[in-house]
Each structure stands twice: as C-alpha cells, then as structure tokens.
A and B are shown apart, each in its own frame.
Chain A
C-alpha cells in the first residue's frame, strides 16, 4: 500500500531496536562510569581535605614552635589574665628542686628568686603556662606576712631581647604585676590589689 515516504521511513527504521542484552551492556557502561566519577570525586575531595589538614597542621606547628616577638608592654596584662584565672597547681610542693623534677619540659632551670626569700615566701606548687607564645612556669607562692597567694611566672629571656630588662610594675585586671629579670630568666609576679 502506498503511503507518504516519511511514514514508510518511520515504519522501516522503527522496527530496529537494540536487544535487552545490548541495552544492558550500554547502560551498565554508563552506570560504571558515573560511579567511577563519583568515587573519583570522593577521592579528589578527600585528597583536598587531607592536603588542607596537613597544611593547617604544618602552619599550626610552625606557628607554635616559632615564638612571637616578646612584647614587654603587654606582658603584665597577660600575667594578670593568667593570675585571675586562679588555676590550680598541677604539682603541689614546697620545694623548688622537687617542682623542677616535674616540670621537665621547660628549657630553662627554675630558680628560687632572691627577691622572694624563703622566710617571707612559701612555695605552694606549680604548673606549665604559656606567656608570649613561650613555655613558662606558673608558680603559686604565699606571702607569709599577709597570707595572700601570688602567682609567680618564670620564662627564659628570649633571644630577641638584647638589652637588660629593667624592673617595672603595672596594674591590669585588678592585679598588680611586677616584672624583672634574674639569672637569664624573666620573672613576673601578680597579686590581687
């Protein structure tokens, strides 16, 4: 039967279809590539995250091991801040030599300051602390006269400070802070006003 050519063309080519096996083959290839892309996406994403974490860790590490430049003007504020936190001593002792044996991470030797003689000051204990990005010792001492507890800080004088440190006093956060240097150490004491 004669019909328009277009209709006959549709009928002729319309009879050709892929078998279900062939369709499955093509579809599974398509699926596999999609899954592979997702997996590759996860791997790529994971790599970026891992790389970022490593970079942040390295930045953190170098930031931590690279001390900030010492700023003596802000030191009293920092000491007052720590003092006001009233943190308990991790090591309770009345002996400096014994305290030294516990605070082994310090890169300096704790000293018994001449300004704080034993007949006037009693050692109560100590713990680690951080001042100006440097590891320091935070020591609790009691003044035997007024029975007030003070916080003493000791840290090594940074290399970037050439000139000798002159003693000075400052007030911050309701605390009186005295700073001085002794035996290559920087010392600061804070007490409530």
Chain B
C-alpha cells in the first residue's frame, strides 16, 4: 500500500490545522511518515489513512509535551449544551476573512475539530473515534466552537460598524 499525492496533501492540511504553520506542519508530517516507514506500519493496519492521521496527532501531542512553554488547556467538558440533534456548526454562515480570524484565536484542539468536521466531513461519531473521546464530549466541543466562532465574527462586525 502506498500513499498518493492526495493523501500526502490531506495529511499536510491536517498538520496545518494542528500547527498553524506550514514549515512546522511539514516537519510534523515528515517525522510521522519516517516513523510510519521505519515501523512498517502499513502492513499491519487495515485503515492506513485513518491510522496515519492518528499517528500525526500523537506525534503532534508528543512534540507539545516536549515543548515546556506549552500549557495544556483545561477543557470544561461540563459545559451545558442545549439538546441538539445535529451538529451545531451546520447552520453557521461566515465569510472567509472571518473564518481566518476565528482560526487565529482557536487552539489546536478547536482547529483540529473544525478541520475534521468541515474539511474531511467526519461525523460526530467519527470525530469521537479519531480523538478517542465520547460522542457527547465532541458535541460539547462543537457547541463551544460555534460560540467561539460567533463571538469572533460578532466582534469583527462590531469593529467594522456593521
């Protein structure tokens, strides 16, 4: 099994979502890919793409732990969320500039979440599987993310006098 150029670009975009920086994203991708090749992982897994994505994530978290300047955010998983049947982000309308600004204030967890949902179109359950957390926690995070995005662009609109 070999990864295609599309696969590599997809992994790169995911790395971008995590790191926000193109050169760091490429380093992350390269480091993970070296491990992938060295450990001959592809011959041992049934879903290589998903598995590699998890490897990228784990590598990113390992790198963060080594970086003493980084502090992990305590996530408030107890946030009260309204009863929602579908993904809370589905009805959000936004401009590209507003999204860019919102992404700047998001942490890596939030960028990863919005990438998996928006770019890769993962379902809530698939996101939960990938992040290895309960589905309810994913929904809570999506709800907080929606609030953050809305707050971000409402500030922008106020600033612009809209």
Residues from chain A with Cβ under 8 Å of B94 in the complex: 2-5, 8
Q: Is the CB of B37 within 8 A of A11?
A: no
Residues from chain A with Cβ under 8 Å of B90 in the complex: 4-6
Closest residue to B95 on the A side, CB-wise? A2
Closest residue to B4 on the A side, CB-wise? A27
Select B3's contact among A3, A12, A30, beta carbons within 8 Å.
A30
C-beta contact mask, A28-49 vs B, less than 8 Å → 1, else 0?
0110011001000000000000
A61 interface contact, C-beta 8 A? no
Q: Is the CB of A12 within 8 A of B12?
A: no
Binds B, one of A13-21, A72-80, A115-123, A150-158: A13-21
Interface size on B, residues (CB 8 A): 35
B100 interface contact, C-beta 8 A? yes
Q: Is the CB of A18 within 8 A of B8?
A: yes
Q: Is the CB of B37 within 8 A of A13?
A: no
A9 to B115 Cα, complex, angstroms: 7
Select B115's contact among A2, A13, A37, beta carbons within 8 Å.
A13
Select A16's contact among B16, B89, B92, beta carbons within 8 Å.
B16
The binding surface of chain B is classed by DSSP as helix
Interface size on A, residues (CB 8 A): 26
Q: Is the CB of B12 within 8 A of A8?
A: no
Q: Is the CB of A8 within 8 A of B95?
A: yes
B28 interface contact, C-beta 8 A? no
A5 to B9 Cα, complex, angstroms: 21
Query: Given A3-B93, A6-B117, A18-B9, list of 9 further CB < 8 A pairs?
Result: A2-B95, A10-B118, A14-B13, A16-B16, A16-B22, A17-B9, A23-B5, A29-B34, A29-B37
| B residues lining the A interface (CB < 8 Å) | 2-3, 5, 8-9, 12-13, 16-17, 22, 25-26, 29-30, 33-34, 37, 40, 89-90, 92-96, 99-100, 103, 114-115, 117-119, 121, 149
Q: List 11 A-B contacts (CB under 8 A).
A: A2-B95, A5-B114, A6-B89, A8-B96, A8-B99, A9-B118, A26-B30, A27-B5, A29-B34, A30-B37, A34-B2
